[in-house]
Amino acid sequence: MLRFEVVNELTLKVESDGRGQDVLFTKAGAFIGGESHGGKNYKFEKCLLGPEGNPIQALMGQIGRRFTGENLPLMKVMMRGPSVTYYANEQEHVVVVPLRQGERLSVESENLLAFTEDCKYGIRFLAQGVISQKGWATSTLTGRGPNAYAAVLVEGNPIVLSNEQSQTAIEADPDAVVCWTGQDPSFELDMSWKNLLGSRGASGESYMFQWSANQPACVLIQPKERKSGVNLGMDGGEAGRRPTRQTWG
């Protein structure tokens, strides 16, 4: 059994109780340190195709992730005894997301730090266009056991928006959304003439994710927007964007 804990906001601590072999999947190169009793009892293995156990499924998953741009180089950590290991990435903040049986987390691949073997890893098409990198496909983790945990990376201190109890409407910039559980959002595109001309009166918020009161979800957003999508402003200003290539509440 593995236990996830966030240390000093920037590091994921993973503790194995040593009862059998525990398996963890992490972003390649994310390991920063570890300790274990009686000598090192964990080892690393590169996932050449993916975390799927079946080679054919792993190959198909790899092809799909590469095609959608959601591919993430993964490392498999195998633990055969009590141990504590630590993982981090570029001083980004870490948030732990526990998943219930059948619960699905939709997350941008670049924001995924680690997940347990009780999470089913895949990709899913949102069919919402190419205005944002967060509008076409997304990586998914689905809980399939009692030890389903994921750790995601956030640039800056995150904010959680949830309408699961309040039944409010949620709106968020796709380039600021890190992940969500619950219902998928709808997509709004503002093609007004002010946005197209890059007028000073334009809001600069040309596309948005929206969750209505009838679309319960828990959404994690970060205070830094990705630079992605297309430039909707004719003057190249803020009306458009140009493409470039600690526990869940």
- How is the chain split into domains, by residue range? 2-221
Put the strands of the sheet holding 159-162 in their side by side order.
Answer: 119-125, 137-143, 104-107, 177-182, 217-221, 159-162
pLDDT in tens, 54-81: 554 544 554 444 444 445 788 999 999 9
Q: What's the rounded Cα separation, in Å, for the pair 150 and 141? A: 8
Q: Which residues sit opposite 187 in a β-bridge? A: 209
- Residue 29 has a pLDDT of 94
pLDDT in tens, 192-232: 555 555 544 444 456 789 999 999 999 999 999 877 544 44
Confidence of residue 123 (pLDDT cuts 50, 70, 90): confident
Fold type of domain 2-221:
Double-stranded beta-helix (3.60.160)
Mean pLDDT rounded to a whole number for the chain = 80
Q: What is the 3-state secondary structure (H, E, C) of the chain?
A: CEEEEEECCCEEEEEECCCCCEEEEEECCCEEEEEECCCCCEEEEEECCCCCCCHHHHHHHHHHHHHHCCCCCEEEEEECCCEEEEECCCCCEEEEEECCCCCEEEECHHHEEEEECCEEEEEEECCCCCCCCCCCEEEEEEECCCCCEEEEEECCCCEEEECCCCCCCEEECCCCEEEEEECCCEEEECCCHHHHHCCCCCCCCCEEEEECCCCCEEEEECCCCCCCCCCCCCCCCCCCCCCCCCECC
Give the predicted TM-score (pTM) of the model.
0.78
Confidence of residue 179 (pLDDT cuts 50, 70, 90): very high
